[in-house]
Amino acid sequence: MKDTEDTGAGSGAGAELTARFATEVDWTKVVDPYIPCPDGQYGPDLLERLWSPDLRTAEDAQATLHFACCGDGSSVRAAAPEVLPFLVEAVRDPAVAARVRTQILETLGVLARAGVPARGAVDGARRGGWWRTAPAAWPAAWERAVDALLPLLADDVEGDEDVRAGVAAVLARATHRADDLIGRVLARFEDEPHLSAAEQLVLAVGELAPHAVERREDAVAWLRQRTVDAGKGEEPDMDDDTDAWIAWMEQHGHDVRPAAVVALRRALRPL
């Protein structure tokens, strides 16, 4: 079994979760795409390292898992359905470094892009010069992941706006659930306190709208309104009027006009 770097940093995953790494994952499928087994096979310690308090250890584990799950990004490999529940678990767990959580979300986005076209294609169909494939277990695993990620749209833990933005970007790939997700994204936008996450919510609506049935017209109209809405306007000078500045800070009316223009263009594109 392939060794991963050991820096001596312990795992913060806890005994119960660590035990699940060993019992719920078929590690014969979690392999290096270019090194034959047994040398290229990984083990439960790879997931444990995501929870390491040592940032480099956790990031190295994330990079290794990314490569095992999707290689160069053109396919969903057999490892992906096996470790996906724990990748989502890591995203949901504030004990995992915020930077690693956002990196995991980037991996989930790559898997979503690679997996969705393959769901309707014959395994091995050649597209764009690359083989795009997904294992039979992927659609059900992806569906469960979407459900598990939804609560994170409203994860208001201090400093987690990057995680919320990453979740919105991943959920934008769940186009088969466009009507439901558009409703959830619009509702979250009203309460989102951070501009970066609000902008990603707008972009998610643009990605989902072409695939919606009941909510498409509503989504397009909402995006049109965002293209001309300056939100809560310019920040007042705190020294001139402290009360006005405090009131401004407490509002969530973001100016997302640039993102809305991009999103509207995507929403109106033909499928």
Confidence of residue 254 (pLDDT cuts 50, 70, 90): confident
Distance of CA 6 to the CA centre of its chain: 27
C-alpha to C-alpha distance for 91 and 161, rounded to whole angstroms: 13
Residue 143 lies in a domain: yes
Same domain, 167 and 205: no
Same domain, 159 and 268: no
Residue 182 lies in a domain: no
Q: Give the model's pLDDT for residue 126.
A: 42
Domain residues for the domain of 245 are 190-271
Q: 132, 121 in Cβ contact below 8 A?
A: yes
C-alpha to C-alpha distance for 74 and 83, rounded to whole angstroms: 18
Q: 60, 114 in Cβ contact below 8 A?
A: no
Q: Give Rg (Cα) of the chain.
A: 21
Mean pLDDT of 182-199: 92
pTM for this structure?
A: 0.83
Q: What is the pLDDT of residues 108-132, one digit of tens each?
A: 999 998 887 544 444 444 444 445 6
Mean pLDDT of 191-211: 94
Phi, psi of 230 (to 5 degrees): -80, 10
- Other CB atoms within a 10 A radius of the CB of residue 11 amount to 20
Predicted confidence (pLDDT) at residue 139 exceeds the cutoff of 70: yes
Last residue of a domain, one of 173, 203, 229: 173
Positive or negative torsion for Cα 16, 19, 24, 30 = positive
Q: Give the model's pLDDT for residue 232.
A: 67
Return mean pLDDT, the chain.
86
